[in-house]
Amino acid sequence: MFCQYTGVVSIDMKNPFNSISFKSIFGIELLLLTFFLVVSAIGYQGFTDALLDQYSEDAFRTAKVAALNLDADRMDAYQESGGTTEEYRNILKTLDRVCNASSSTFVYVIRPDQTDYEHITFIFSTVGWQYHYDLYPFGYYRETTNDDYRDKYRLLYETDASQELVVRDRGYIETDPHITAMVPLRGSDRQTKGIMCVQRQMTGMTDARHDYVNRVAIALAVLALLAFLVAGVYLNHLLMPIKKITKEADRFAEENKAAETKLTETIHNKDEIGILAASIDRMEDQITSYVQDITRITGEQERIRTELSLAERIQADMLPSHFPAFPDRSEFDIYASMQPAREVGGDFYDFFLIDEDHLYLVIADVSGKGVPAALFMMVSQVILANTTMTGASPAAVLESTNSAICSHNKEELFVTVWLGILEISTGKLTAANAGHEYPVLMKKGSSFELFKDKHGFVIGGMDGVKYKDYEIMLEPGSKIFVYTDGVPEATDKNEKMFGTDRLVEALNEDKEASPEQVLANVKKAVDLFVDEAEQFDDLTMLCLEYKGCQKEEDPV
């Protein structure tokens, strides 16, 4: 059964602020607002600069006209007149008319202290009739207003500057924001004798700027409203198909079945939206088909898992698994284990008493993995056991088994086998090897060492192969350890193999250990080496300890 996906992000479509229309309109409005603000700032600065230029030009023109009414060479005489002579009063009246005619705030003449320009003396001073400022009396002596004025005075006196301007619209200002235009009064010797100053308030300029800002703000509001209306109508028309697609996608996520009416039947766009609608239709058909396939495959996999679990139990039942295996026999101790890489494996071990004095031992490794190897393993195990019960030697058992398997081996599988028969009363072990790993032998009082026996060809590889028996005399206390290639070929994350050297080293860490503990020690060493790397092969081991027969004491 297909389960509905619950990880979809929930979107509240009833909230208009979550709609793509609102977000698109908001984005357009934000872009327009940014554009208008940038343009308005540029226009504002340009407008301000233009007004300031105009104000400055008018102020300089007024200053130059006023300067025509003075004789710069008589500046000393004007200053020495005390402001009482007829000539002085006539000039003052003329300057007053110029001040009022030009709507200037102040028209005045000063003489700075040329030593450091820190102080100035007023020679003439007038104020416009519409302004209520106090006049500076004749000869008024005061500190220079600030460094800006001081620098301008210096330039007019010590350089060829023909005019200078001071703009005061920030910080502490004695009057309202204003500009002061200054021109030098130069005598016949081209030396500056005084400075004609014209001051104009910036009220008209700021009023004009405020009017500009108001008009821009109104225009911006009107344009924003128009843009909102136009964008709303246009986006609603443009996004209607997307709303249909969204609604259909939400329906499909809940119902998990394709729509009866396809999106392409109602959406006829030839652009990306049309492509998206067609893609949604295809997606619904493909997912519906995929769900059906998954349902079928899931059922099939469940059946396979059940069968594999049964096969695993059957395979486990085929191997001796109850230990101690022979609790009434004290001449030997035996322990074995198999850990398949998959549910079922191709490795196997087996042991049983042929008679009261002979113990059958075998360990084998089938080529391949999974179910085919497991089936081949069970066939091989049965043939080997049945052939051994006839009383044949290990080599004869391998030859007979090889002949039987080769005659019915269309899949060309093969198996490596080490087979031994222990004569319990004497400790003589007769064995044969069909392409299997070398056994590891520990004689009494010695250490574990590889026993490099002579290998025959693998079982099932070629018919007519001959095998040879060999004998090992086990003394009481001797141990023999046999295994499949899954032990030495176990690899770590760096693809480095465990190897037989580490195997022998692990065996010799506790030479007095019981067969069960021997297998546990090797398994622990392999696990530490492999760490978190995946197990790719079956891990099968068998260990036998020969303890010998206890002689009966003679009766007294």
Distance separating alpha carbons of residues 457 and 477, to the nearest angstrom: 32
In this prediction the pTM is: 0.50
- Residue 39 CA to residue 33 CA, distance in Å, equals 10
pLDDT for 556: 41
- Rounded-to-integer distance, Cα 378 and Cα 347, Å: 10
Angle at 411 between CA 406 and CA 415, to 5 degrees: 60
What is the full DSSP assignment across 25-60?
HHHHHHHHHHHHHHHHHHHHHHHHHHHHHHHHHHHH
Provide the CATH topology of domain 37-207: Beta-Lactamase (3.30.450)
Output the pLDDT for position 15.
61
Residues with pLDDT less than 70, the chain = 1-24, 36, 40, 43-48, 171-175, 204-210, 212-213, 228, 231-232, 234-239, 260, 299, 301-317, 342-345, 550-556
* Beta-bridge partners for 351: 361
pLDDT for residue 230: 76
- pLDDT the model gives residue 141: 94
Per-residue confidence (pLDDT) for residue 551, from 0 to 100: 55
- State the pLDDT at residue 332: 96
What is the pairing mode between strands 358-366 and 415-423? antiparallel
Domain spanning 323-546, CATH architecture: 4-Layer Sandwich (3.60)
Q: CA torsion sign, 271 to 276 to 279 to 281?
A: negative
Spatial CA neighbour of 419 closest among 329, 542, 517: 542
